[in-house]
Structure 1
Amino acid sequence: MKTIIIEDEKAAVRNLKALLQEVNPGIEVETSLDSIASSLDWFTTHPMPDLLFMDIHLADGSAFEIFDHVDITCPIIFTTAYDEYALRAFKVNSVDYLLKPISRHDVEQALHKLEHLVPAHGSSAGESSLLQLIRSLKRQESYKTHFLVPIKGDKLLPISIDMILLFYIQDCKVKVVLADGKEYNFPQTLDEVAECINPSLFFRVNRQFLVSREAIKDIDLWFNNRLSLNLRCDVSEERVLVSKAKVQEFKDWFSSI
């Protein structure tokens, strides 16, 4: 696992390197950077590391300025002597916020937290939870948040993902239904839509329906341990059923954050 350290205090860099070597010898510190300028130069000429340790106060300004110029996609562990930036830190890819002086216990806890951010049951043999987290962060960046939907011949309607209640198939065409009840023909297949949007926001309950939580008014227990969804919008004469095989997965999804 490759990491870099952004820190302008040489003693702090030496201490952190030593702690990382003790806690996890598999972590390779590629380099340490001591300023905003050197960080920007490094990120424009090198691939993204697996992990980043970042101090906030640097010699030439606040490290948050780096995010104005570079799209940092790896997990970040902040290391600082100040506690007033914690909220701002967690608006980026921060997984922990360590206050100096940093101890071995602090580093162990931060790495432990990082490793458990992705559920173990989704791992394949030999794959660490950290690698899953890194891939998850990168996948989330690629999920679509806005669409352009053709309407009335030569017009395109811009819609954001939070405006959408559901996608469904009717007469071999995909429809999108918005929160205001309006629906439009959608230019992609339902399989394509399911691939490009965040699965934490929408659930494919069956071959015909891809729904958000907000689309669901209430749920009936149905025959053979299935669920029947009552939607907030009237889009189909048929019941919207969650198959028996998907019931537990649906319940887990619906109650997740």
Structure 2
Amino acid sequence: MKVVIIEDELAASDNLTYLLHTIDSDIEILKVLDSVKSSVAFLSKPHEAELIFMDIHLADGVSFEIFDRVAINIPVIFATAYNQYTLKAFKFNSIDYLLKPIDQDELSDALQQFKVQNKEQGIADHQVKGLLDLIKTKSKSYKSTFLVNYREEMIPLKTINIAYFRVDTGIVKGITLDNKSYSMDNKLEDIEEELSPEDFHRVNRQFLVNREAIVNIKPYFSGKLVVVVNPVCDERIIVSKAKATEFKDWVGS
């Protein structure tokens, strides 16, 4: 099988290449491309690719722009860090995807699916339009203020002043930059949906962290990471090995 990878993060493309070769050593990576421009240039010429793995956000734009400039008549599997709510649109538009960080078993299943389906099947214009509409929809404004209960009154709590959200004995709490704690009425999953992914990151099941609160990141055993925040948290904030690369990429973006 001959594959093209369109991904602007070197660590992500290297990891995908490693996983593909682990699953099937006969897979040939024809080209790794990191931009809309280079992808259009490559795909506009005759090539032998049978399958494309494509990230959504590239160095010079959104990968869906590639479909406006060149016809792609082979299957495409998108690799995306979008949340589960957004991924419903991929299912609705019948487009295959893998959620980052890519799991080897899920990748293996996707390859198996590719083998049993029509290898000549590309993505139709209406499918691309559906995903483009999704991107525009997700450009919505995010929550800037939470109304929280404090003693016998309700006060507005600015999102930019929240260092991190944590689950503490089943209760979600917002910890501010000046180290005050407020109980939240929402579930952590719901709060995550309301916040800008540029500013806040879900590091694990218990913590949703503001990038401005991160002091440093320390290596932990088995490839995990420990996130040190300010104000200091009395519980160690651990990022799993599977999510370590994604988290570091987010911090460095």
TM-score by length of 1: 0.49
Larger Rg: 1
TM-score by length of 2: 0.50
- Pick 1 or 2: higher relative contact order, CA cutoff 8 A, min separation 6: 2
